[in-house]
Amino acid sequence: MAGADGDELRADLHEVLGGVVDDASSEHDAGFHMSKNLQSLQALYDGDSHGFLHALQLALIGPLKHDGRGRSGQDIERLLRIVSAVKYSPADFARLVRFALRGCEAEDRNVRCHSTQLTGHLLGHAADISDELWEDVATILLQRAKDKLPTIRAASVVGLQLLQKLSIDDVDAISNAVLRLAVTDPSKEVRVAATEKVAVRMTSIGDLLIRVRDISPEVRATVFNVLATADTLVILSPSDRVHMLDQGMNDRDESVVSACQNMVLAWLRAAHGSPVELLSQLTIEKAPAVCSSLCRWLLKQHAADLSSQNVKDKALFGSALSVADAFFWKEQCLYYQSIKNDEMLELLLPSISSYCDLLRHLHTSLVDAVDEPEKDELLVVGQYVLQLGVALDFQDEVGRRQLIHLLRTFFQTVAFESKWLHDAVMLLAMICRSTEFEFVQYMTEITSDLYDLMQEMESMSPETRTELTERLDAVDAQIDDESLSAEAYDALSAEALALEKQLEEPKTLQWLRCLELTAKLLQFTRQNLRNATIAGVLHMILPAIDSDIPALREKGLEGLGLYCLLDRQMAAKHAIVFWRVLNADDEDGDSKHVCIQVLLDFFTAFKQFEVLPVVEDDEVVTSRVILDGLATYFCVDQRQLDEWDLPTQTLVVRGFIKLFLLGRIQDLETLQHLLELYFHPFLKEMVISDEHGFCSETLQMLSVFYHAADCNLISSASHHVLSRALYGVSAVPFAEAAPYLLQLLQHPRMDGACTRNHHNKVAIWVCVEMLALHEVTNVIKRASKKQMLHQWWTLLQNLEWSVDAPANDDNDTEDDDDAPIARKRDKVKVEDVVAEVKVDDAPPTDDAPPTDDALLYILLDEVCTLVPENAKLKAKMAAAFGPSFTCELTDAMQSWMVNAVGTRKEVLSKGVYKRGMQFRAAPKLEANDSVTEEDELGSDAIESDESDDTRTSRSKRARAAPTRATTARQSKSAAAAKLKASISSDEASAIEIEDEVSAIEIDDDESAVEDDDEEATAPATTEPTDKGDGDDDASMGDDDE
């Protein structure tokens, strides 16, 4: 392109592009102006395509180099979007795409960012591209998906998503790259962009569902928005849907709740407006509370959009009810009862007489049912129908008496299903709510009749029971043989069923029913043991505990526990019974679960609960002994948990969480175990089948408990947990635990009752730890000590410690009337601060020294002498304390420091090291490498850092934690916890957002662009130093809540 025509074309192009950039039209006129500018560009291209393309590339150099901050970013985006919308010939389109790809590999971050955006816009207008061009674009965009700048990674997502549409082959790498960005990227903007473009498939849904627990509400809302528009009928299992509803409907952010509600409405439209059909796609019986909240929201906000027949008519005409039918019917009745809508209740509720007929029909159908799935469905339907009964109108005395008589008949029938007892007894209690004496009378009469009848029955001889039990065990062992033929297997199964039937003697079943009803009476009554009728049921409970039948012992223990909860003295007297059963080696596992629950309930129900001291195995059993024994079921030192350990651990953790939240205990060691348990390797790696790796119940409870626990206790326990983690004693990964604990301790200074900055306390004991570790010799290798000091130093730099008042120079505030009044900090005397602290009273290493500003300053200044690269910390100290702040190191302060450091040094010097492992210098990590615990801490690890004899005696040696590979499905709690020692100035400036608007110049840059032929033959440039692989940052994604 040369001559006057070329100059004229270039001038016209600059005029159009300048108009695009300077376009300040309103949103209403934006579409008109964009269309007008696009027509002008299209006319220029049609007039001279070759000259237009060359001039366009020259003109784009300036905008591509622009930093795009402030409003300029929108102008550049608009420019690139219009340029990409021109209809190019296939050859010219490929030429322009390759121009953009060369910019994607530039060293300049601005050029890379805008070129990646241009590539995405161009692909959006491509109907088809050649295989060679597709491969080149895919290669470059996959590299940009690992760029260290979040804006570039986000821009690459658009192009990668469009590439999937342009080809149906070889898209696995692209899909995985987009999914990786959605799951593990540290930037929420990138995760949002990637989540919007993730292809919702069976292979990606598991990783996508994890993002409903993302720390960013924008990401969580995006997940729900994406799933609302996708066809998820086959992809999402009923459990997945319940999990999403549980997370979304209860989210603390309104935007996420709104997005989840929009998803529910999309599901409702797909179900043709039928709430019953919608509920049939959920696992109602596994999450009734979630489904209940869903139904109530639909009835409250979208009742007009629901289309379903009246379930009452279906039930009373004898039609079989599904689980969804019964559940929605129950929720309808309870909701309209809560808002006192008598008109709807009259329409939905049956008469008491009809309700009794329905209960008889369900009971008869269950007894006659042969198919197991049919029985299971009837059991659930019956439960919901019984729960519906509490909404009935009991003013009809005839119907009320009829229902009471029916329930009493059911209770006296052994064939009445045990799973229905709870709801049936609750219904009876509701009927008799006006006078509890009537309820107690009915229940004691029923249990007494059952107990008297049971005593008259003949018992099976112990010899016969033993013989049948041994035969049943032998049959069970034979059934497990895989070499059995089908005929032999059927014969053994039939024999096993017959033996089980013989072992279910009528007397045992009668006694079990008596114990079940007694337990329900004790559970629902509001009376205590001063009521003689209630106190008299003990004679039916105690014999069951001595029975040789495990089921009877379990129910007897449950009844005794409920009985003792009605009286403090009775609980203190019988606590030893549960403790003995719990420690019996031959006791059934279910009975032990009951004992654990009862003992924890005792400590929860009664403040300062103390058991009557009893000597067991030469040890006096006290409340402290029982609590310590229960804490062993945390299984902190175990590497594998079996089918009994896992639910037991959950049970014990739930109980101790209640004790902490109710203020029943303030035990520091127990809290330390709970903190370590959150990072237990087994719990972190546990993946439940068909649940897409959702967190265990223990992890979910702990994640809620830590934020509600006493932050002062958390602060005190952190030293123990982090020390054990850093020195390799526990399996806790230091890189995960440190930032998580610091986040727990970080809250506004005036948040609630706590006004302390706990990071000050952490900073003081970290300084003491570093000074003590520096003086330790002989027992720690030099390389290991250097690595450990570096870890403590990194932690210290990430602490958000503060001082009581801001440091302001007099010259800065004397002329400012609005400046806050602050006390001067030019010089501080330390004698007054430490006058009351004796030298011999230096706190042990488990307790951090007092968080005084002067003490903090002295320790920070002392630690800075250990680390040459201390400029960042010194600058932070100058900003916090003021440049003119000085502090005298008095004798009292020095004595305190010497004692504190000496105490900790003595503990560290006595540590037992693991000689079997040798420390290896950590290699230089690539961007996608993860840091293992051994690489971070060194292989020489201190086994114990505790000076307390009682704590040391209860500590057990734990093996080193295995390295857990970072996968796409890994919970973000691991990814969010990577400590950053420093942030490069380049990356920091890339993250920083400026509001300034700088002009974008549309001008040619002849030196920045080469001839097309030369560019086509030029080799690809290598990756520049300021655009590394993004996997290093990708491992730092935000954690789940």
Three-state SS sequence of 199-237 = CCCCCCHHHHHHHHHCCCHHHHHHHHHHHHHCCCCCCCC
Cα angle, residue 941 at apex, residues 938 and 943 outer, rounded to 5°: 165
Residue 249 CA to residue 282 CA, distance in Å, equals: 15
3-class DSSP assignment, residue 377: helix
Matching residue, tokens 């809302």: 221
Neighbour tally for 557: CB within 10 Å:
27
In angstroms, the CA 16 to CA 38 distance is 9
* 392-398 long-range contacts, CB within 8 A, separation 24+: 392/349, 392/352, 392/355, 393/345, 393/349, 393/352, 394/352, 394/430, 394/431, 396/351, 396/352
User: Is 1-199+983-1041 in CATH node 2.60.40?
Assistant: no
> For residue 868, with 0-12 CB atoms within 10 Å meaning exposed, 13-18 middle and 19 or more buried, which class applies?
exposed
- Alpha carbon 877 to its chain centroid, in Å, reads 36
| DSSP-H helix ranges across 889-960 | 891-909, 933-937, 949-954
> E strand or H helix at 189, and its extent?
helix 188-197
With vertex at residue 801, the alpha carbon angle to CA 798 and CA 804, rounded to the nearest 5 degrees, is 165
The whole-number pLDDT of residue 36 equals 83
CA 890 to chain CA mean position, Å: 48
Please report the pLDDT score of residue 1007 as a whole number: 45
CA distance 346 to 393: 10
Q: Which residues of the chain have pLDDT under 70?
A: 1-6, 23-32, 68, 70-71, 167-171, 639-643, 684-696, 748-753, 804-852, 911-1041
According to DSSP, the β-strands at 827-828 and 886-887 are parallel
Residue 541 vs residues 280, 552, 568, 781, 792: alpha-carbon distances, Å? 42, 9, 18, 63, 58
Q: Output the CA angle 617-621-624, nearest 5 degrees.
A: 135
* Phi, psi dihedrals of residue 915, rounded to the nearest 5°: -75, -15
- Rounded CA separation 951/280 (Å): 53
The pLDDT value recorded for residue 729 is: 82
- Structure tokens given for 171: 């898209």
Task: Give the model's pLDDT for residue 543.
Answer: 93
Is residue 614 helix, strand or coil?
strand
Distance of alpha carbon 102 from alpha carbon 1015, whole angstroms: 9
Identify the three-state secondary structure at position 885. coil
Tell me: the pLDDT tens digits for 580-626? 999 988 888 889 999 999 999 999 999 999 999 888 888 899 999 99
Nearest to 93 by CA among 64, 130, 62: 130
HSE, CB side, 13 Å, CA atoms: give it for residue 88: 24
Closest CA to 446 of 401, 390, 513, 509: 513
Domain-wise residue ranges, the chain: 1-199+983-1041, 226-307, 309-431, 734-811+822-954
CA 161 to CA 202: how far, in whole Å? 17
Residue 327: predicted pLDDT: 96
d(CA 323, CA 685): 34
Tokens of 65: 């180099």
* pLDDT one-digit tens code per residue, 807-826: 444 444 334 433 333 333 33
**Nearest-angstrom CA–CA distance, 972 and 422:** 40
**Residue 753: what pLDDT?**
60
Q: Are strands 614-616 and 619-621 parallel, antiparallel or unpaired?
A: antiparallel
The pLDDT, as a whole number, for residue 570 is 95
Query: To which H or E segment does residue 858 belong?
Result: helix 853-864
The total number of residues shown for the chain amounts to 1041
**Of 946, 948, 957, the residue nearest 721 (C-alpha):** 946
CA-CA distance, 406 to 1008, in Å (whole number)? 92
Q: What is the model's pTM?
A: 0.72
Per-position b or e across 898-921, b if 16+ CB within 10 A of its CB? ebbbebbbebbeebebbeeeebee
CA 10 centroid distance within chain: 57
CA distances (Å), 124 to each of 87, 129, 147, 166, 169, in order? 12, 11, 22, 10, 19
Q: Cβ distance 226 to 200 under 8 Å?
A: yes
CB of 45 closer than 8 Å to CB of 52: yes
